[in-house]
Amino acid sequence: MNTGSTRPDGSLLSALMTTVTTRTVEYPADGLTMISHLALPAGIERRPAVLIGPEGLGLSDVERRRAEALAELGYVALAFDIHGGRYLDDPEEMLARCMPLLADPDRMRDIGHAALEALRAEPRTDPDRIAAIGYGTGGAIALELGRDGADLRAIATVNAVTTGRPGEAARIGCPVWAGVGSQDPIMPPAQRDAFTAEMQAAGVDWRLVVYGGALHAFHHPPVDHAAVPGVGHHPQHAQRAWHDIINLLAECLPVPE
């Protein structure tokens, strides 16, 4: 049990001294045992809930802190695992697992639905009021949940303006927000254009924010990415993207007074 929680940048949420309870949640997916991080707000009543998907490296304290920050705001939050409890800090190992995964929408959907069901199984979760946010690979998984027709109130993705199989974006039934760095070589302008064309053709309520001068994974602290070309932390845009996501949740998934 934690008194107070930390913002994604690590500072104390001193203004909101509610009590957040955290625990690990294990469940099978993709042939692995996933070990995810659940954060619960104070109280006993049901609350709107948020899935949080990690970068390709895997679940880290960055996503765990984001779950706790959302719990401080009154959400049930599950930061979900994608590598069976492992954190792949070797770039070659990470790419060897993530590239085939990103090329396989059904695998991504299986991982996403398993996490979604784990979140729905939590008694504090309002099963009719769930959003999915994600970063990199986790963002691609959130989008695939939408393309598979999952009942979500909002989808937010950072560093993952990925496109899906033809026509399936029409199954997205909620607003989609996407954020990307203008200098991201992994999600270049052509990829952004393909993503927005897909969303527009499908009639999705979408918005895209391009953060000027930011690289890939600009939201993530620099320690894990210092030696990876095209990747870099941008503190100002990291905070702006987080605030944009919070505003999306406030619009689409407001917490009851």
Cα–Cα distance between 254 and 257 in angstroms, integer? Answer: 9
Q: Is the whole model's pTM more than 0.75, yes or no?
A: yes
In this predicted structure, what is the pLDDT of residue 160?
A: 95
% of residues, the chain, pLDDT over 90 = 84
Q: How confident is the model at residue 179 (pLDDT cuts 50, 70, 90)?
A: very high
% of residues, the chain, pLDDT over 70 = 91
- Mean pLDDT (whole number) for 150-178: 97
In this predicted structure, what is the pLDDT of residue 183?
A: 95
Tens-digit pLDDT profile for residues 15-31: 344 589 999 999 999 99
Residue 2 has pLDDT above 60, yes or no: no
CA atoms within 13 A on the CB side of 114: 22
Q: Are strands 76-79 and 32-40 parallel, antiparallel or unpaired?
A: antiparallel
Tens-digit pLDDT profile for residues 209-222: 999 999 999 998 87
Which helix H or strand E contains 126, and what residues bound it? strand 125-135
For the domain spanning 2-252, the CATH number is 3.40.50.1820
The domain locations on the chain are: 2-252
The structure tokens listed for 208 are 């895209």
32 dihedral zone (left: phi>0; alpha: psi -120 to 50; beta): beta
In the block, residue with structure tokens 């944009």: 244
Q: Which segments within the chain are labelled E, that is strand?
A: 2-3, 19-29, 32-40, 47-53, 76-79, 125-135, 155-158, 176-181, 206-211
In this predicted structure, what is the pLDDT of residue 27?
A: 98
In this predicted structure, what is the pLDDT of residue 223?
A: 60
In this predicted structure, what is the pLDDT of residue 18?
A: 58
Tens-digit pLDDT profile for residues 134-157: 999 999 999 999 999 999 999 999
In this predicted structure, what is the pLDDT of residue 65?
A: 96
